[in-house]
Amino acid sequence: MALTICTRFTDEYQLFEELGKGAFSVVRRCVKISSGQEYAAKIINTKKLSARGFGWSYPLLESVGIERPSSFRSAVRKSSRSPEAGERGQDLPSLETPEYWVTGGELFEDIVAREYYSEADASHCIQQILESVHHCHVNGIVHRDLKPENLLLASKMKGAAVKLADFGLAIEVQGDQQAWFGFAGTPGYLSPEVLRKDPYGKPVDMWACGVILYILLVGYPPFWDEDQHRLYQQIKAGAYDFPSPEWDTVTPEAKDLINKMLTINPSKRITAAEALKHPWICQRSTVASMMHRQETVECLKKFNARRKLKVNNKTNLASSPKDTGPAPALVPMTTTPPPARHHPS
């Protein structure tokens, strides 16, 4: 397992008033003692999670990037505002037990700092994400808010494991249960079934993985529009494509996996277990291209900069009959890709 640095949250941060509240979490203003910098800390009530039947087990927590010794029942969650340089993407935990955070920052920020990044690297990244998603799904957990901001690295060491963060919108499902659990997620990563207000379940996470994989390969999202209504129309229609020239150097196998993830009908969408058996994942060394993708890195730099720029103009989409207050603020897409064209489901 990748190195995880542990410390007590209240040794370095002072907590103040409540800013918002969700079903399992509360957001409070906090100040870093050493610098005086203000942040918003999302605090998860792990006792409430257990009481609601989520049953967080240690293997699950380890798999999705929530590090703790077996004698504790603490869960880390990502700050809703990134700390200063050098601490970007640290997780802020429940305060009822000893707390920990992961220190590697965001995966997407790490990629643009690399000297070499290939399709094979993208395959390795999405494999780790899929492994965590699969573990969640096996344990009956649907994340509902997979996006770049919630993909963190366990440490700053080279090759550190990718971890999922921010389970504030997670829900529990029974098997392949499909139901209306409320409108929740981030605009560019929402699935067609959520936008249609249809019953949904685990497949929503796989749709988001498809969006993430698309970005990992070319540096911009498959669905984008300044107007949110038009963005949602694109998503519901599956209106994405693989335009030239940037997609010309991407292997057919990579495109095939994206197509299987971005399938409009959730019952036909690939599962995490199936995706992990896809040739582009399990035969990466012989299938995925090793060519350095400089254009992707350049586009990712712009993508990262623009989504960070929008952090103070967040759109709160999450609502649920079970919610007791404001849910986490969600970041809209801001990167401009080539015009999307309809792609069949």
Q: Which residues are catalytic?
A: 145
Here the contacts of 10-17 (C-beta below 8 Å, separation 24 or greater) are 10/95, 10/99, 13/39, 13/41, 13/92, 15/41, 15/95
Determine the Cα–Cα distance for residues 249 and 322; give it in Å rounded to an integer: 46
The label of the residue with tokens 């993909």 reads 151
Whether 181 contacts 141, CB under 8 Å: no
Whether 184 contacts 319, CB under 8 Å: yes
Is residue 42 marked as binding?
yes
Whether 335 contacts 306, CB under 8 Å: yes
CA dihedral for 286, 291, 296, 297, sign (positive or negative): positive
Give CA angle at 109 (107, 113), nearest 5°. 110
Residue 20, strand partner residues: 27
| Residue ranges at the known binding site for ATP | 42
| Residue ranges at the known binding site | 42
